[in-house]
Amino acid sequence: MADSSLCWARARGKERVLFWAGVLLVVAGARPVCLADSVEAITKPSGDAALSFVRAGRVTQVLVKPGEAVGAGQVLVQLDDRAERAHLAQLKAQSESTHKLEMARAELIRKKEDLKRIEAAAKDNAASDLEVIYARVDLTIAELSLALAEFEHGQDKLKWEEAEILVGQMQLASLGDGIVEKILPEPGESVDELEAVVRVVVIDPLWIDVPVPLWRARGLRLSGVA
């Protein structure tokens, strides 16, 4: 890396690079070159994400370590989700059950037959007009009951899907490829919603900010030698 003395120090959360004999210049893959002047440079990751849960909970597993490379979608931390999974199983069984629908359909068939029978009896003066009216009302109620059962069945499916989302929120996954910089909680500890739990940084590429005199900056070109 050229014949330069290199000093690393922490400065305000970023790494400071000090070149006593020159400055390392990285421009679109160009080879490092040295300038004669002593220059300070600040390095920082090109991506920096502080990940948090959207729900509070107790940490059961920390699946990565600081310095470990992670990929997009990889689970980093797991919260206790036993209650959520039990509720999910309950809603799954409820959404898959068709008993209420079948009962409503059977009741509708019976009310239709009752109305036919009473209307036929009324033609022979064996049933009153009031009985016919009641039979028609009962049929309307049965039709509405079936519609309500179908609506509730659809709602049960939506509740199941919502519960699946809530179970997924008990896991903290990486948004993209990167390096685990810091993990705050330990297994057994509780975390609050939106509390920073894991920091993931992207260091490929790594940004290096090098302040240079304006007269030097004017001569810089992409892939050129400084």
HEC secondary structure over the chain: CCCCCEEEEEECCEEEEEECCCCCCCCCCCCCCCCCCCEEEEEEEEEEEEEECCCCEEEEEECCCCCCEECCCCEEEEECCHHHHHHHHHHHHHHHCCHHHHHHHHHHHHHHHHHHHHHHHHHCCCCCHHHHHHHHHHHHHHHHHHHHHHHHHHHHHHHHHHHHHHHHCCEEECCCCEEEEEECCCCCCEECCCCEEEEEEEEEEEEEECCCCHHHHCCCCCCCCC
The pTM of the full predicted model, rounded to 2 decimals, is 0.68
- Could you confirm whether domain 6-80+170-217 is CATH 3.40.50.2000? no
Domain ranges of the chain: 6-80+170-217, 83-159
Confidence band of 106 (pLDDT split at 50, 70, 90): very high
pLDDT per position as a tens digit, 121-167 = 999 999 999 999 999 999 999 999 999 999 999 999 999 999 999 99
